Amino acid sequence: MIYFLALIPATGLTVMGYFVFYLASRSDGSFQRFGKYLGFWAFTLAGLVILGAIFAAANGHHQMHGRMHGPWHGPGPRFFGPRGDEFQPGAPPETAPAAPTPPASH
């Protein structure tokens, strides 16, 4: 059902393509040629949006099944716990060794 939302940008790109074609037909020279390319590009992008929605609708169930609806069988909590160099509330502060004093030179 959510793939019908792809019709909104595809419709907008199609309307913009027709508008650009209309403006290109009223202009001359290099602007007319650029307008034709730009209108063709808008139609191409609209087609790619529709094809992408069809592809996602056809393959989305197979790729996403179990990833969003079941438990995660990931690598475990070792990646989600605090790292060793992070501050942990309630832990005593670590004392750093004192910096060596430079030798006194006379």
Residue with tokens 């139609």: 43
Mean pLDDT, rounded, for 10-17 = 95
Q: Which residue range forms the structural domain that includes residue 39?
A: 2-63
Query: Within a domain: residue 88?
Result: no
CA–CA gap between residue 51 and residue 5 (Å, rounded):
13
Query: Within a domain: residue 58?
Result: yes
Q: Count H helices, E strands: the chain? A: 2, 0
Task: Give the lowest-confidence range in 1-10, 33-42, 62-71, 90-99.
Answer: 62-71
pLDDT over 80 at 65, yes or no: no
Query: Within a domain: residue 85?
Result: no
* 86 or 39, which is more confident: 39
pLDDT over 90 at 93, yes or no: no
Query: Within a domain: residue 86?
Result: no
* 90 or 5, which is more confident: 5
| Structural domain count, the chain | 1
Looking at this protein, which amino acid is placed at residue 30? Answer: S
Query: Within a domain: residue 51?
Result: yes
pLDDT over 70 at 29, yes or no: yes
